[in-house]
Amino acid sequence: MSQHFKNIHVGKATLAVSGLGTPKVPQAIKVQIDPSNQEITGELVPWGSDNLYPQNFYDKKFLKNGAAVGGMNTLSSTTYGNGFNLYKKVRNETTRKIELEEQLLSDFPEIDLFVEQNHLDEFWDAKIKDLALFELAYTEHVLSANQETITEVKRHQTAHCRYAKMDETGTIPYVFVNTDWNTANPKFTVPIPYFNKTRFTTAQIKEICKAKKIFNFITDSKYAFITENYYPKAGWHAVDRNGWMEVANSVPELKKALFENQMHFKYIVYISDYYFESYYKEEWDDFDAEKRQKMREDLATNIDDHMSGNKAGGRSLISPIFEENGKFVEGIKVEPIDNKLKDGSYLPDASAANSEILFAMGVNPAIIGAGTPGASNLGGSGSNIREAYTVLSASLVPKRIYVTDDWLFWRSFNNWDRALIGMFSSVNLTTLDKNPNGQQNILNG
């Protein structure tokens, strides 16, 4: 519905205003947990000022950004490669060089059963995603009746876990798990004993479990801390801290608003009172202010209807010209407005923001063909994509250390063969003349 404000005739528009809240410093939260078998009072350290940082980041920012989702999928799938396998180092009798030889799981019945019962393929995939997204992953370990071996393992979603406050020795006693920190209902907040694998040896953890009758505990895997004490400041989240993700996400929101609310004008129409004075002559002086305004509005509506819609293409508007003080004045003047929000506007900004997001992840935009929509992408030739993927695979070698640290822990705790090496083999893209499938496997950690 159009509106009239005195002599200005306009359509509808939408105005959005946003403000910045006052930053808050997180304080430890006192929690009372009273499950049927224990009674614990403790303090948890909130993750973010409202204890909802991972939920807010993932739901409100990450999932709205196609480049971030696509880059994260590429990062996690490249890390997983062909999956987790067991190897042993052997010496080549001919070359005398040390080589890695893949092992059959069936040759190790105890490990084979462990892998099958704990669905480790899905476990590894989920853990890789947690580490890639938040640089933090949690694993719960369940002990046998005699507490000598780990029989079950479970991945806890990173967003569901919060650390208890450190004691005076710097030890974190528990990790609190709650699937809904929005309500943080104490009835559903479960404390699980926590061990830092870098502070306690496997033998020490086993000894503490026996002494305190602990049959399940949680450990974490996290990238190296620089200034943090509890939760990591994920490096690639820099694009959230510096605003690039907000820029990337705001462009589609703006475009959507334009389509839904039509927030731009195509023409501005000037109507001089000389038009009315000339057309109505002496009658104009007899009209009161209300009738004059009504006539102005009627004319504006007629012009708007005449120039709007698909049928308006090619139409003309005839207006008289008047002389005032020796100068000609148009009775009605139509001027086109430069459309600052025309097709393609802000897309380069969104493209730059998306590239910054992928750069922060360490993913070359060429791999996923990132570029300005409607323009040439950044993928280039197949060789560019292939080389970018090879570089990405090689760069993930140190990050796989944090994925496979659970394997090293289980191997030590369960006294499995220490010669067994667990690792993920990478997929190395190649040309079809070298391999009909266009890929080959490589071992790089």
Tell me 276's DSSP state. H
Q: How far apart are CA 270 and CA 259, in angstroms?
A: 26
* Burial class for 377, CB neighbours closer than 10 Å (0-12, 13-18, 19+): middle
Q: Can you tell me whether residue 196 is helix, strand or coil?
A: coil
Residues 412/148, Cβ–Cβ less than 8 Å = no
Q: How far apart are CA 220 and CA 230, in angstroms?
A: 11
Tell me 236's DSSP state. G
For tokens 């304080």, what's the residue?
Answer: 27
Contacts of 365 (CB under 8 A, 6+ apart): 354, 355, 358, 359, 371, 378
Angle between helices 66-80 and 347-361 (to 10 degrees): 30
CA 26 to chain centre: 23
Query: Alpha carbon of 215 to those of 91, 209, 222, 419: distances in Å?
Result: 41, 7, 23, 28
Going along 157-253, which residue ranges are E strands? Answer: 161-163, 174-177, 190-193, 216-222
Q: What is the pLDDT of residue 386?
A: 80
CA 312 to chain centre: 45
Q: How far apart are CA 350 and CA 67, in angstroms?
A: 10
Helix H segments across 135-262? 202-212, 238-241, 244-261
In one letter, which amino acid is 201?
Answer: T
Beta strand 421-424 with 267-271 is unpaired
Q: What is the pLDDT of residue 140?
A: 97
Does this model's pTM top 0.95? My answer is no
Q: Can you read off the two tokens belonging to residue 339?
A: 């459309």
Q: What is the pLDDT of residue 4?
A: 43
pLDDT less than 70: residues of the chain: 1-41, 257-265, 309-317, 319, 322-326, 328-329, 337-346, 370-382, 427-445
Residues 191/176, Cβ–Cβ less than 8 Å = yes
Q: What is the pLDDT of residue 3?
A: 47
* Burial class for 71, CB neighbours closer than 10 Å (0-12, 13-18, 19+): buried
In one letter, which amino acid is 33?
Answer: I
What are 372's strand-pairing partners? Answer: none
Q: What is the pLDDT of residue 203?
A: 94
Phi-psi map region of 83: left, alpha, beta (phi>0 left; psi -120 to 50 alpha): left
Tell me 417's DSSP state. -
Contacts of 207 (CB under 8 A, 6+ apart): none
Beta strand 321-324 with 267-271 is unpaired
pLDDT of 347-365, one tens digit each?
777 788 888 898 898 888 8
HSE toward the beta carbon, residue 151, CA cutoff 13 A? 8
Q: How far apart are CA 158 and CA 172, in angstroms?
A: 17
Q: How far apart are CA 419 and CA 161, in angstroms?
A: 34
Q: What is the pLDDT of residue 429?
A: 47
Q: Can you tell me whether residue 178 is helix, strand or coil?
A: coil
| Residue-wise DSSP of 315-349 | ------EEEETTEEEESEEEEEPP-TT-TTTTHHH
